[in-house]
Amino acid sequence: MMPMLVETFVSRASARQRRGRAGRVRRGMCFHLFSSKTNSLLPEYQIPEMHRTVLDEMVLQILVLELDSDPGRFLNQAVDPPSSTAIQASLDFLEGLQAIEPAPVE
């Protein structure tokens, strides 16, 4: 699967931050081009990238750079780690491509 950018609205926290930056150095205004109803439907915070994207490239980099022989163990140290299902899906995909060898069964 080829990674792609998906257009989404910002979170309410990001919108507040942008509004706070307007006028900080010199006079300025911030225009949010969405309705107050849309604003109320926005998520409070953005979902972490590891939960929004496919992990194939990251898993492969962990293995190639020898950061850990178990990408799941390495990724579980993240502040907001991805699900074990997502990690396993990436491992299965990379094994299917023969980009990595299957992990030995213990």
Task: Tell me the average pLDDT across 5-18.
Answer: 89
pLDDT for 1 beyond 60: no
pLDDT tens figures, 24-80:
888 888 999 999 999 999 999 998 888 888 899 999 999 999 999 999 999 999 999
Q: Is the pLDDT of residue 12 over 70?
A: yes
Better pLDDT: 28 or 85: 85
User: Token match 């910002």: residue?
Assistant: 10
Number of alpha helices (DSSP H) and beta strands (DSSP E) in the chain: 6, 0
CA distances to 9, 16, 38, 59 from 64, in Å: 35, 40, 43, 9
Q: Distance between CA atoms of 97 and 63, rounded to whole angstroms? A: 15
Under a CB-based contact definition with an 8 Å cutoff, are residues 82 and 54 in contact?
Answer: no
pTM above 0.85, yes or no: no
